Amino acid sequence: MTGIALFPSLSIYTMEPQHAQQHTNSSPGGNRPCNKRKEYLSWDEYFMSVAFLTAMRSKDPSTQVGACIVNADQRIVGVGYNGFPSGIPDEALPWDKTSPEGFLGTKYPYVCHAELNAVLNKNVESCRNCRIYCTLFPCCECAKVLIQSGIQTVVFASDKNRDEDVCKASKRLFELAKVQMVNYRPEFPELALSLRYPGDNVAAAPAVTARPLPTLTAPALESAADDRDAKEPRGKKGRGPNAGENGDVMLA
């Protein structure tokens, strides 16, 4: 891992692809050739893929976020995506980013973020010393949850909202709490996933053999604010615990 100058005062690192360095093709004795596969996923590819796959469960039409918590033994201990609290039907609350009703007519007061859900879904007693793989850099509300849960490292794929206050606050919190931030840089931008082995039961396969993978979206926060600007007078912007200083900065 090498440091980058993106946030020079903060402990943010880029994570270089580890594919090549993890492949060795000799046995411990050195004499016998090892024929293990070379195409296997690295841990980082695997866990970030799980985070992105989990994001595909999201019902949010504008922003799909996934998170995957991993312990020191490389075991997944929790996953989450953004959605309404358990037991609430997906149709029972709005998914809109803006509403004539104001804040209560939007998704913001109701949606649980992916990182929060991953922590709450954990199947171990504690997340202490775990790391979390996030498709998006966490907002400050999730940052507080991650810090309190004992997570030591945040590996994130996108920090497209880095100039927003909610992300600046996260970075400040992570740095003060000595939580390491790692910007994951994949060796390949996409992962093709087959749900069967080649040649498996071809005759019984459905006529359409490939379900188009949904494209995940995470619009920049500015666009959400701009969208609201076009529809609401400035004084009517969202109000509430998740609203930013101007009521216009909210994640997911």
147-166 binders of Zn ion (CB under 5 A): none
Q: Which listed range, 109-117, 154-162, 201-209, 227-235, lies at the site for Zn ion (CB under 5 A)?
A: 109-117
* Beta carbon of residue 65, minimum distance to Zn ion (angstroms, whole number): 8
Q: Which of 115, 141, 187, 232 is catalytic?
A: 115
Residue placing its CB nearer to Zn ion in the complex, 45 or 67? 67
Quick one: which of 38, 21, 60, 54 has its CA closest to 157?
A: 54
Total binding residues toward Zn ion, as defined by CB under 5 A: 3
Residue labelled with tokens 């796959």: 53
* Beta carbon of residue 227, minimum distance to Zn ion (angstroms, whole number): 20
Residue placing its CB nearer to Zn ion in the complex, 70 or 145? 145
Residue placing its CB nearer to Zn ion in the complex, 142 or 221? 142
* Beta carbon of residue 113, minimum distance to Zn ion (angstroms, whole number): 3
The residues that bridge with 66 in the sheet, in sequence order, are 81
206-245 binders of Zn ion (CB under 5 A): none
Rounded to 10 degrees, the C-alpha dihedral 123/124/125/127 comes to -110
Tell me if 55 contacts Zn ion by CB under 5 A: no
Q: Which listed range, 86-94, 141-149, 194-202, 211-219, lies at the site for Zn ion (CB under 5 A)?
A: 141-149
Tell me if 136 contacts Zn ion by CB under 5 A: no
Element (H, E) at 153: strand 153-158
Quick one: which of 15, 53, 59 has its CA closest to 159?
A: 15
> Is the CB of residue 69 less than 8 Å from the CB of residue 117?
no
Catalytic residue list contains 115? yes
15-44 binders of Zn ion (CB under 5 A): none
Residue placing its CB nearer to Zn ion in the complex, 55 or 139? 139
Tell me if 112 contacts Zn ion by CB under 5 A: no
Tell me if 139 contacts Zn ion by CB under 5 A: yes
Cα 18 to the center of its chain, rounded Å: 20
Tell me if 142 contacts Zn ion by CB under 5 A: yes
* Beta carbon of residue 151, minimum distance to Zn ion (angstroms, whole number): 13
Tell me if 113 contacts Zn ion by CB under 5 A: yes
Burial 165-201 (b: 16+ CB within 10 A, else e): ebbebbbebbbeeebbbbbbebeeeeeeeeeeeeeee
Residue labelled with tokens 């927003």: 164
Query: Which residues form the catalytic set?
Result: 115
> What is the contact surface with Zn ion in residues (CB under 5 A)?
113, 139, 142
